[in-house]
Amino acid sequence: MLPFPKRLYKSALLLAVLATAACACSKEDAAADPTAEGDGTITWTHNGTTYTSKAYSSAIVDSDTSLLITGSSADMKNAVSLRLKKIYKLGATTYDLKKGSVLNNYPAAGLTLNSATQYLTLYGPGASNGSVVVTQYDRAGQKITGTFSFTGGAVPNSGSTGTQSVTDGSFSFTRFR
């Protein structure tokens, strides 16, 4: 018997994938200067601290319709991730980060703090918990730029509590993985 509903396992799995992708890097990347040039840059502010990730950031083709944008702090303890569903169809537009379930197939944003506590917009406090504004998207040329801000709610049964907000986010990538 499952200790909590099966749909929460899917939500936890999504967040784990987002956090893992955000913190994942090759051995070469780990040895690199975290401010070195890479495939792109993602910047965000949380609790008054601004993070800029170059060496530890990626734009990852997640499926035939989704793109996952990730980045982590230089110490690899704090990470942000953005999952843009239906980007190949919608392109450069505003993606509303709605409260819901992974079963709704919504775009989502996540924040991992201290390599442990996890927050996801799907569990945020409002019907809409932020947005990602894609200002440029060129699938063939592998270019994407935009801005974001969001409030994520604690992922159930993850040990996280309350909500956490990310502001002043921006990203720019010239290569997808």
Backbone angles phi, psi at 111, to 5 degrees: -135, 130
- Residue 97's Cβ-count burial label (10 Å; 0-12, 13-18, 19+) is buried
Q: What angle do CA 102, 63, 168 make, to 5 degrees?
A: 65
CA atoms within 13 A on the CB side of 58: 17
Place of tokens 């950031």: 57
Instruction: Identify the segments of the chain with pLDDT beneath 70.
Output: 1-38
Q: What is the pLDDT of residue 39?
A: 86
pLDDT tens per residue, range 47-69: 999 999 988 899 999 877 899 99
Q: What is the pLDDT of residue 17?
A: 41
Q: Give 68-71 contacts, CB < 8 A, sequence gap 24+.
A: 68/18, 68/21, 69/42, 69/144, 69/171, 69/173, 70/18, 70/21, 70/22, 70/24, 70/42, 71/22, 71/41, 71/42, 71/43, 71/44, 71/171
Q: What is the pLDDT of residue 37?
A: 59
Contact yes or no for 45/168 (Cβ under 8 A): yes
Which of 129, 165, 131 has its CA nearest to residue 147? 131
Contact yes or no for 109/81 (Cβ under 8 A): yes
Residue 7, helix vs strand vs coil: helix
CA distance 78 to 71: 9
Place of tokens 């290569």: 175
Is the entire prediction scored with pTM above 0.85?
Answer: no
